[in-house]
Amino acid sequence: MKKEFLDLGRQPIANKFLKEDEISDEFFFDLKVVFDEETKLVSLKDFVKPELMFNDEYTYNTSLSTPMVNHFKETAEMLNMKFKPKKVLEIGSNDGPFINNFNKEDSVCVEPCGNFAEITNGMGYHTYDEFWTTDLVEKIQNEKGYMDLIYSANCVCHIQDLDDAFTAVKNLLTPSGIFVFEDPSLLRMLERGSYDQIYDEHAHIFSVTALDNILRRNGLKIFSVDNLSVHGGSNRIYANCVDSSLVGDSVRQSINEEMIFGIDDFQTYEIFADRVKKSKEVLNRRLTNLTRNGKRIVSIGATSKSTTVFNYCGIDDSLIECITDTTPDKQGLLAPGSHIPVVDRESVNLNDYDYAFLGAWNFKSVIANKESEFVKNGGKFITHVPEVMDFS
């Protein structure tokens, strides 16, 4: 049975930045979150139609983020060294920072956002501009054969029908092939109060516990887990066909840690929901008081996460004047729902502001280093993770 524990209100498409004349047609949905007593999976109560989120106008370019490019290069090197895969497929290849570490002849991409599929096709990697399904896999298997490594980062949690997605993986792997995927960790979200990991794209927030249950019923088994710091705390899952290898200590340790925290207990989610409500009140009060006292506030990073925060907390351009973002495709547009203008960092003198809210709190140290001048001039950062606070 699925039990609802959190209501984050009316929310727009988190990565759909708007022109002024698109405001009147903006799509909104109810962002509610449920816990499945049987599998322990945390998911959105109502999914948004995938085509509304993942289309030719998708604005999240992984390659514009140097820390993530380095992360994918290191991941590819590690996987090459450990498993020496010959044929590699990536689900949700974005603009190619992972796959470009593998040779073009033996690698395949799957990417439903046409703008990014065009990029990796242009780089010489055969890219299927489609959603990951068992039907697509039948076609890939006929055209390309079986794969030694299927990799995916920040994409499996976007897939609504996990049984179909995992069956598709199983159908395309060689008998000794492995499936490696990484997504934000439910445990870290619960610990850090980072409710902004929840938005339309994140159909599920994964625990190792829930994945273990769902992978097993689809003929796959987790044999190793890496706890990663990226994206505010993620898990990298290594799975293969059931009974083909031993389960490593890392799997038991991760599941144990989750059990100790109470990831299988509905009460844990009720406590989290209370914390989220308090965070909303405190953040709203803090920003309102600051602006009433004449302070000017900017936000750094027009993230999907900040879409959730701003819409849930009722924050608009009367509290935060603008959002700086390094992604050209977001600049000059309005943030989803809140309609706060998104601007190029270079066009803003941060010293004109008293406070900078961290929309990209997961890059806190990178941003604090880059913006040391702002702090030297008396500027302060505000974050809501793990709780609402200022720092400099």
CB of 129 to ligand JHZ, least distance (A): 17
Q: Toward ligand JHZ, which CB reaches closer, 141 or 227?
A: 227
Is residue 363 a contact residue for ligand JHZ (CB under 6 A)? Answer: yes
Q: How far apart are CA 189 and CA 206, in angstroms?
A: 10
Identify the residue among 154, 218, 224, 299 touching ligand JHZ (CB under 6 A): 154
Q: What is the largest CA-CA distance in the chain?
A: 66
Distance CA 55, CA 15 (A): 11
Size of the site for ligand JHZ (CB under 6 A): 21
Q: Which stretch binds ligand JHZ (CB under 6 A): 118-126, 218-226, 309-317, 358-366?
A: 358-366
Contact between 11 and ligand JHZ (CB under 6 A)? no
> Interface with ligand JHZ includes 367 (CB under 6 A)?
yes
Q: Does 115 bind ligand JHZ (CB under 6 A)?
A: no
User: Distance (Å, rounded) from C-alpha 189 to C-alpha 133?
Assistant: 28
Residue 40 touches ligand JHZ, criterion: CB under 6 A: no
Q: What are phi and psi of 348, to 5 degrees?
A: -120, 135
Q: Does residue number 231 form part of the binding site for ligand JHZ (CB under 6 A)?
A: yes
C-beta of 231 vs 280, nearer to ligand JHZ? 231
Site for ligand JHZ (CB under 6 A): which residue of 17, 35, 60, 102?
A: 60
Give the one residue of 55, 160, 227, 327 binding ligand JHZ; rule: CB under 6 A.
327
In the region spanning residues 294 to 313, those forming contacts with ligand JHZ, defined by CB under 6 A, are 300-305
Contact between 16 and ligand JHZ by CB under 6 A: the answer reads: no
Per CB under 6 A, 186 contacts ligand JHZ? no
Nearer Cβ to ligand JHZ (88/300): 300
Distance of alpha carbon 182 from the chain centroid:
10
As a whole number of angstroms, the distance between CA 65 and CA 130 comes to 24
372 binds ligand JHZ (CB under 6 A): no
Q: Side by side, which strands form the sheet with 342-343? A: 342-343, 323-324, 297-300, 355-358, 380-383, 389-391
d(CA 392, CA 375): 6
If you count DSSP H runs as helices and E runs as strands, how many of each does the chain have, helices first?
A: 12, 17
Q: Which residues contact 122 (CB under 8 A, 6 or more apart)?
A: none
For ligand JHZ, which is the closer residue by CB, 182 or 221? 182
Task: Give yes or no for residue 57 binding ligand JHZ (CB under 6 A).
Answer: no
Task: Please tell me the distance from the alpha carbon of residue 33 to that of residue 282, in angstroms, as a whole number.
Answer: 22
Instruction: Map the footprint of ligand JHZ across residues 258-287, applying CB under 6 A.
Output: none
CB of 113 to ligand JHZ, least distance (A): 10
Q: Is 360 in the site for ligand JHZ (CB under 6 A)?
A: yes
CB of 41 to ligand JHZ, least distance (A): 17
At position 351, the amino acid (one-letter code) is N
* CB 170 within 8 Å of CB 177: no
Alpha helices in the chain (DSSP H): 50-53, 66-83, 114-122, 134-144, 162-172, 186-192, 208-216, 249-261, 266-292, 304-313, 364-370, 372-376
Give the tokens for residue 89: 């497929």
Q: Is 62 helix (H, G, I), strand (E, B) or coil?
A: helix
Out of 362, 381, 382, 385, the only residue in the binding site for ligand JHZ (CB under 6 A) is 362
Of 201, 212, 258, 354, the residue at the interface with ligand JHZ (CB under 6 A) is: 201
- Does the footprint of ligand JHZ cover residue 75 (CB under 6 A)? no
Interaction between residue 200 and ligand JHZ (CB under 6 A): no
For position 370 contacting ligand JHZ by CB under 6 A, the verdict is yes
Cα 301 to Cα 37, 306, 335: the distances in Å are: 35, 8, 11
Q: Contact positions toward ligand JHZ, by CB under 6 A?
A: 60, 65, 154, 201, 231, 300-305, 324-327, 360, 362-363, 366-367, 370
